[in-house]
Amino acid sequence: MLEYVALAVVSFVFLTLVYVIVFIHDIPHSIAKARNHPHQDVIRVAGWISMFTLHAIWPFLWIWATIYRPEHGYGFGTNIGPLVERIDALERELAELRAARTRETPPEPPATPEPEEIEATLELGPPDVRADDKSGEAN
């Protein structure tokens, strides 16, 4: 009779151990399912494969399942709301600066010399050459 009790206890412990191992390897799939992960099925199959690879890939499955967030995807908490608001504020400020710039009167362009002044300058030549010197030598 004692042998049957021992067999029942050993069987119970063995089945409980198998159930705990299966439950532990299904945790990444449960996390992925709760987060609506796009790769839920792959994570579940990889969890089963992990049991036969001495649990080598199980930590990576945990990371893979927990890194995904439905509102951000695989992003790391980047909330772009404040950035969009800041860009909008900068664009408004830039538009105001451009409007203010166009309201200002543009500076006067430099006066262009008359054609007669240009011809007179060309006839005189450089300042160190005298007009009465026919040879073109400098003094």
H or E element at residue 69: none
pLDDT for res 34: 93
Residue 89 exposure: Cα atoms within 13 Å on the Cβ side: 6
Residue 117 inside a domain? The answer is: no
Residue 27 inside a domain? The answer is: yes
Residue 13 inside a domain? The answer is: yes
pLDDT, tens digit, for every residue of 73-95? Answer: 776 656 677 778 888 899 999 99
Residue 126 inside a domain? The answer is: no
Provide the domain count of the chain.
Answer: 1
Residue 134 inside a domain? The answer is: no
What average pLDDT score do residues 66-77 get?
76
pLDDT, tens digit, for every residue of 98-127? Answer: 888 887 766 666 777 677 766 666 666 555
Residue 93 inside a domain? The answer is: no
Q: pTM value?
A: 0.50
- Say how far apart CA 75 and CA 69 lie, in whole Å: 8
Domain containing residue 20:
2-67
- Say how far apart CA 31 and CA 66 lie, in whole Å: 7
Residue 123 inside a domain? The answer is: no
Residue 57 inside a domain? The answer is: yes
* Residue closest to 44 by CA, chosen among 35, 67, 16, 58: 58
- Say how far apart CA 70 and CA 36 lie, in whole Å: 7
